């Protein structure tokens, strides 16, 4: 638009110039110079107002153009599809996302029925019902109703879209049409499918790591069991080998007796085969073999008692026996030079799974040894004390290691967190132990001892006691 010229003073009103009357006005009867001056001044005021109105109109047009460009930019940038139609369902406005989805231009869609975008009859019926409800004011909520339809895309395939339907009103509040805004559900389904696959992969990885931690605990237990079983089995094998050496001697001597050999020949064989020594040794060999076999049976029985690590069987458990067994297995397996001192207390019985509690004790004892072994100038040592505090049994595990760094205290029980070198730990031992203790109604606390080294405090409700509701909190000892 061409800008109008700047307002100029009317002719005859310029400063320093005389008033020039229009030609031929000298003879007008009754019209004097003052009247013409008033007319010219009014014309000048009218012209000035026209110029001001023209400038204001240009400013309004520029503002309107900026608003239109802003709205067009919003419609173009929207990833959701948008359709605006009149009361009869004829399309009046769309956006780039819808045009790209259906493979048509905005000019092609204007004036066509919104139902023509539907891929099937039920979708057309649902969109028509939504428009009727919107026109009648029966749309629930201020945000409008939601309708699921299938749009026909550029390839002619049905694309599920979740449309939000809102009424469109004019400046007087009268209903003049409908607005549909929605997002193709295929994108959401793909995202959900990818999220579900990632979740399943994470669950599988967690299960594998949990299994790795269990296998690591099992490896330490097996090492202790192998060392424990070695002594009685070796004793039994030694006695059996001795019995095997005695069998041919006894057979030869008995054959001579059964064959009716002379008495002097029998006496000679008895001395040569050392039959008297063999008979005297049989009793001790049999007793030793039975003792070794019984010791092996006791070890197997003990393992069977503590093999319920994954069961939910809760019964009365003697914690003193569990701690002693954990110390025994760890020292026999991976820490033969570990100086462990255990100060038990009487009546240390809790309700729970002895297998699961053994896993907790072994983790705490093994972690204490791993931490204490980092100080090469001192013999790894651990002091375990048990005491009753009201309805709770309190176990303290205090090692002589370097202690726990302050930045690690808040993450110590997080899954997969470990300060051990790569390949030395999965970071799940303390996390699993913490979960087991919580399921037993107790709590596991980590901190640094005043005398140096780390201290883990385990609290469990005594048998017959009711667990406190705040037993699951985590704090420094």
The reply to whether 165 falls in a domain is no
Residues 333, 444, single domain; the answer is: yes
- As a whole number of angstroms, the distance between CA 2 and CA 225 comes to 100
Report how far residue 418's alpha carbon sits from residue 414's, in angstroms, rounded to the nearest whole number. 9
Q: Are residues 338 and 447 in the same domain?
A: yes
Q: Is residue 161 part of a domain?
A: no
**Burial, 319: exposed, middle or buried (Cβ in 10 Å; 0-12, 13-18, 19+)?**
buried
Residue 89 · residue 115 · CB < 8 Å? yes
In a domain, 211, yes or no: yes
Give the DSSP per-residue string, 275-313. HHHHHHHHHHHHHHHHHHHHHHHHHHHHHHHT--TT---
Asked if residue 366 and residue 301 are part of one domain, the reply reads no
pTM of the model: 0.42
The residues near 206 (Cβ < 8 Å, ≥ 6 apart) are 415
Q: Are strands 381-389 and 339-343 parallel, antiparallel or unpaired?
A: parallel
Question: Are 297 and 324 within one domain?
Answer: no
What pLDDT is attached to residue 376? 66
The verdict on 320 and 455 lying in the same domain is: yes
Do the bridges between strand 392-399 and strand 443-448 make them parallel or antiparallel, or are there none, so unpaired?
unpaired
In a domain, 6, yes or no: no
Render each residue's pLDDT in the chain as its tens digit; 477 residues.
434 444 444 444 444 445 455 555 554 556 677 877 888 888 888 888 888 888 888 888 778 777 766 666 666 656 688 888 998 889 988 888 888 888 898 888 999 999 999 989 998 998 888 888 877 766 554 456 788 888 888 888 888 888 888 888 887 888 888 888 887 776 666 777 778 888 888 877 767 766 666 666 666 566 656 656 776 787 688 778 888 888 888 888 888 888 888 888 888 888 888 888 888 878 877 887 887 787 777 667 655 655 544 455 678 899 999 999 888 888 876 777 889 999 999 988 999 888 788 888 988 998 888 888 887 677 899 999 999 999 999 999 999 988 888 888 878 877 667 766 655 555 667 888 888 899 899 999 999 998 889 999 999 999 876 555 444 333 333
CA 102/CA 153 separation, integer angstroms: 4
Containing H/E element for 98? helix 96-102
Looking at 305, 328, 355, the residue that finishes a domain is 305
Judge residue 329's burial from the number of C-beta atoms within 10 Å of its C-beta, 0-12 exposed, 13-18 middle, 19 or more buried.
Answer: buried
Identify whether 212 is part of a domain.
Answer: yes
* Whether residues 257 and 330 fall in one domain: no
Domain assignment present for residue 64? The answer is no
User: Which of 281, 305, 329 is a domain's end point?
Assistant: 305
Query: How high is the pLDDT of residue 472?
Result: 38
Please report the pLDDT score of residue 252 as a whole number.
85
Query: How many independent structural domains does the chain possess?
Result: 2
**CA dihedral over 203, 205, 207, 209, signed as positive or negative:** negative
Length of the chain, please? 477
Q: Are residues 293 and 320 in the same domain?
A: no
Instruction: Specify whether the CB–CB gap between 352 and 322 falls below 8 A.
Output: no
Task: For residues 405 and 43, give the distance between their C-alpha atoms in angstroms, rounded to a whole number.
Answer: 91
CATH code of the domain in which 327 resides: 3.30.565.10
pLDDT computed for residue 424 by the predictor: 57
301 and 319 assigned to the same domain: no
Same domain for 382 and 438, yes or no, is yes
Helix (H, G, I), strand (E, B) or coil at 128: helix
Classify residue 138: in a domain, yes or no: no
Q: Print the domain residue range for 383.
A: 315-461
- Identify which of 311, 314, 309, 351 has the alpha carbon closest to the alpha carbon of residue 326: 309
Q: At what angle do helices 185-258 and 429-439 cross, to 10 degrees?
A: 90
Residue 205 and residue 272 in one domain: yes
Given this model, what pLDDT does residue 343 score?
Answer: 93
- What does residue 140 show for φ and ψ, rounded to 5 degrees? -75, 135
User: Does 399 lie in the same domain as 440?
Assistant: yes
Domain check: are 235 and 343 in the same one? no
In a domain, 326, yes or no: yes
Distance CA 464, CA 85 (A): 73
């Amino acid at each position: 638009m061409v800008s109008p010229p700047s307002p100029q003073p009317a002719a005859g009103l310029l400063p320093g110039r005389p008033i020039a009357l229009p030609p031929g006005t000298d003879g007008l009867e009754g019209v004097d110079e003052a009247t013409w001056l008033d007319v010219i001044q009014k014309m000048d005021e009218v012209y000035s107002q026209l110029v001001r109105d023209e400038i204001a109109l240009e400013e309004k047009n520029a503002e309107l153009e900026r608003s239109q460009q802003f709205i067009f930019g919003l419609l173009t940038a929207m990833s959701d599809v948008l359709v605006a139609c009149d009361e009869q369902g004829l399309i009046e406005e769309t956006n780039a996302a819808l045009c790209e989805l259906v493979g048509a231009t905005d000019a092609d869609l204007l004036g066509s029925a919104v139902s023509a975008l539907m891929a099937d009859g039920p979708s057309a019926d649902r969109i028509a019902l939504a428009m009727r409800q919107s026109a009648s004011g029966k749309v629930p909520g201020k945000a409008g109703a939601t309708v699921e339809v299938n749009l026909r895309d550029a390839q002619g395939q049905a694309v599920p879209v979740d449309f939000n339907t809102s009424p469109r009103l004019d400046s007087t509040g009268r209903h003049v049409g409908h607005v549909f805004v929605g997002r193709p559900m295929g994108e959401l389904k793909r995202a959900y499918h990818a999220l579900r696959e990632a979740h399943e992969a994470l669950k599988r990885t967690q299960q594998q790591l949990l299994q790795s931690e269990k296998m690591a605990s099992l490896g330490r237990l097996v090492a202790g069991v192998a060392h424990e079983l070695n002594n009685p089995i070796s004793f039994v094998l030694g006695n059996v080998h001795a019995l095997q050496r005695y069998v041919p001697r006894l057979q030869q001597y008995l054959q001579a007796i059964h064959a009716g050999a002379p008495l002097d020949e029998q006496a000679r064989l008895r001395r040569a085969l050392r039959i008297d020594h063999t008979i005297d040794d049989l009793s001790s060999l049999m007793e030793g073999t039975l003792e070794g076999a019984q010791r092996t049976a006791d070890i197997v029985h003990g393992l069977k008692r503590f093999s319920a690590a994954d069961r939910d069987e809760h019964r009365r458990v003697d914690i003193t026996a569990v701690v002693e067994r954990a110390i025994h297995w760890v020292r026999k397996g991976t820490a033969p030079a570990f100086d462990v001192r255990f100060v038990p207390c009487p009546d240390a019985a809790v309700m729970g799974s002895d297998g699961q509690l053994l896993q907790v004790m072994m983790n705490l004892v093994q972690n204490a040894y791993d931490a204490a072994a980092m100080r090469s100038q001192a013999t790894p040592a651990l002091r375990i004390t048990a005491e009753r505090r009201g309805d709770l049994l309190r176990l303290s595990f205090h090692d002589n290691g370097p202690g726990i760094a302050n930045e690690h205290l808040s993450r110590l029980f997080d899954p997969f967190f470990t300060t051990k070198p790569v390949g030395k730990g999965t970071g799940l031992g303390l996390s699993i132990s913490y979960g087991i203790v919580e399921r037993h109604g107790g709590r596991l606390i980590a901190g640094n001892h005043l005398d140096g080294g780390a201290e883990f405090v385990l609290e469990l409700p005594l048998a017959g006691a009711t667990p406190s509701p705040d037993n699951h909190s985590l704090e420094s000892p």
